[in-house]
Every structure is written in C-alpha cells, then in structure tokens.
Amino acid sequence: MPTENAAMKMSFRIPPQCESVTGEEPFVPARHLALEKPKRSWSLKDFGYPESFAEEAPFPLGVTDAFRVLTPEGVDALRQSVAGLVKHRRSNERIANYVRGSIYHSRFVRDLCLSEDVNAFMAELAGRPLLPHPMALYQGHINLLPEEQAKDVDQWHTDTVALDYVLLLSDPREFDGGYFEYFQRPRGSAIRALIREEGQQDIVKVDFPAAGYAVLQQGNLVVHRASRVTRGTERTTLVQSFIPNDPSFLDVSYLQDCKPVDPHDILYSEWARYKAFLSARRLQQLMEVLPYKDDPTMICNELRRAIRDVEEAILDISDPTDARLIHFGQDALTDPTR
C-alpha cells in the first residue's frame, strides 16, 4: 500500500511560451461549485468485464450518470475563460476542434482542475483515492464545436488516461445531437461491434440536464465518443483527467497518442517530468518497504520496476517515428493502413 510520503504531488510549471488569459474572475468553490452525486453509476462488472479483471483495474467504476458540478455562476465564469482560450484551438484526424494545455493559460481552469473539493468528490465516485493527472496537458482539455457540421465532436475511442470527467458547458437546449455516447460492453467487444456495425442496443446516450453537469468514466476501458451536432452553433465540454493515488499502478498513457495532438516543445518536457514523477513515487515507496534480504535478484528486480517509467520515457522521446491518434471512427474503420 502507498504510504503518506509516497502520495506526493507533482509541482506545476507554466512553459514560458504560454500567455495567460486576462480578465478572469477568481475561482471560489463556495460560489462556483454545486457538487451533487449522480443518481446511478455502473461498475466495470456491469460492462461485462470479468470480476478478476475489474478487481485489478485502477478503479472499479465504469461510468456514472450525469451529475452536477458547477453552479450557474461557475458555468458563466468557466465559459468566460474558455472564450479567452479559443485562439489556442487545434484540430487533428480524430478531434475536430479542441484546446489542450488550458491550465497553462487560464487560472480559473487551473484552480478548478486542482480543486481539492472536486478531486475528493471524484475520488468518492471513483471508489479509490486519486490525483489530478500529473501531466498538465491532460488537464482541462476542451472540446469545441467542429467547424464542419458533418464531423463528430470526437470519434469513437478509448482514453489514454485511467479516469476522467466530461463537463458540459453549453445549454443542451441550444443544440441537437452532440451526445456523449458509450458502449456498455468491454472494450474489445465494443470495438468489434463498431467494426461489424452492430450492437446499437448497447450504445448509451447520456442526458445532461443542463450546463455544469458532468459524467465520470474510466475512459481507458469504456469506448465512447461525442457525436456530431445537427443543430446549434455551440457545444463545449471540458475534460479533466486523473491517475490513481497509488505508486504501483500501471500507467496507461502513451506518448505516441500525444505526438499528433500536442506541441512537441512542451510535450517532450512534460512527458519526461511525468515519467520522472511516477518513478520518483515508486522509488520513495521502495525505500520504505523494501525488505532486508540476501536476495540480489529480487532487489534488482524491484529497482528495475521502480525506474521502468523513466527508461520507457527515454525510449519514447528518442523514437523519431510519426504517430497517429488511434480511434474507431468511420475513417479509421475504412482505412486499410490502420
């Protein structure tokens, strides 16, 4: 089990090339938060995962129903911050219109994502202690309405994070379509259903009652998307990611998934810092729990396990090959190179 010292937090840094949003109001939990538990949630076992697999997963949760996070004042303040972030929007073959690294630019988004009130609430829903994802590029991701109406907001995929919430910032009465949808099947079964164009009865469309509501999911194990908007001029969500607060968990993030998405002058340094953080936690835990034994093989194996993330980061960053963001949208399913 992780010790108190092992549950360290990674220091936050803002790259010097990132400018700040101006004119934001300060984040005030008492005014901006309205945390209400969902009426229902579904475990990994409810998705059809074997019990043995679910017990070993980072979290027991599959997905929740929509639940309230922000007050109307909180929604307005966050929308004001997003308005100052849209100039940083980008696009790629999977996500048509998005902003990454928003916590570098926006103090309000940063304080929301790092809020102890919110994080403790999400940990209770998830079923285990957690930390905001230490890699800042994974915090406060914003999806915007695609400029081409025929495109999905985000195509079918699984996340390369262990846990995240999707927070709606737009009034759902002002647009049609744009559903947050997920397959209530295990990941492999859901992907096969997409390829075969079957299993529509297992697709769940989440009903967001209003702006300021969110869904929490173990996105690495739940196949999901945001469908295309058929009416309206705005559909904005914020996605916040987490890792388990346990040094022994197996990281599910991959640099190859970030290379087509993030600017490399920030990405590579963030990846190195993130992997160093994971190894530092494991080394701290090792110093506290390593038994006294005349067993060089065991001790060396424990050391190798502790520094595995740093060694992987060196290989990842040194790899010159291009990467493509994995998804299961129509383009991916018909592309023979995938």
Q: What is the CATH number of domain 29-251?
A: 2.60.120.620
The pair of structure tokens assigned to 55 is 């017990």
pLDDT, tens digit (0-9, with 9 covering 90-100), for 85-126: 999 999 988 899 999 999 999 999 999 999 999 999 999 999
CA gap 292, 286 in Å, rounded: 12
- pLDDT, residue 258, reads 93
Distance linking the first and last C-alpha atoms of the chain: 40
CA gap 26, 107 in Å, rounded: 8
pLDDT, tens digit (0-9, with 9 covering 90-100), for 211-222: 999 999 999 999
Lowest-confidence segment of 4-8, 192-196, 252-256, 272-276 by average pLDDT: 4-8
Residues of the chain with CATH 2.60.120.620: 29-251
Band (330; pLDDT cuts 50, 70, 90): low
What is the model's pTM? 0.93
Instruction: Summarize the confidence of residues 191-216 as an average pLDDT.
Output: 95
**Residue among 28, 6, 10 nearest 272 (CA):** 10
